[in-house]
Amino acid sequence: MGHPEDVDLAAVLHALGDPVRLALVRRMAEDGESACSPDGVDVPRSTLSNHWRILREAGVTETRRVGKARLMALRRVDLDARFPGLLAAVLTEDGR
């Protein structure tokens, strides 16, 4: 896991700018963690892998292994420290 100061705003905004990735982030904010193939996400597995990669590389998520499974979690504390209020703004349904 990187340091909060290493997270780039442009990369985070790009990662959060896609509706599928934003839905994944909102799900993690509610549930705490997400499996790599969560229920209700209707995109091909390869596309979903790409979305997870973009979120991870932007510093939005962290991954932990549990046996063969990978669980993704939102780096909320780090993101809130680096960009106060950003997640709160994007996690609401209407952005308000």
Mean pLDDT confidence for 29-58 = 89
Mean pLDDT confidence for 29-46 = 86
Domain assignment present for 62: yes
Mean pLDDT confidence for 42-61 = 92
Domain assignment present for 45: yes
Domain assignment present for 14: yes
Structural domain that includes position 13: 4-91
Question: Long-range contacts for 20-23 (Cβ within 8 Å, ≥24 apart)?
Answer: 20/47, 20/48, 20/51, 21/51, 21/54, 21/55, 22/90
Q: Kindly report, residue by residue over 68-91, the tens digit of the pLDDT.
A: 888 999 999 999 999 999 999 998
Domain assignment present for 96: no
Domain assignment present for 71: yes
Domain assignment present for 57: yes
Domain assignment present for 35: yes
How far does the chain reach from its first CA to its final CA, in angstroms? 30
Give the C-alpha separation, 52 to 13, whole Å: 15
Domain assignment present for 75: yes
Mean pLDDT confidence for 32-52 = 87
Q: How many domains does the chain have?
A: 1
Give me the count of residues in the chain: 96
Q: Model pTM?
A: 0.87
CATH of the domain at 65: 1.10.10.10
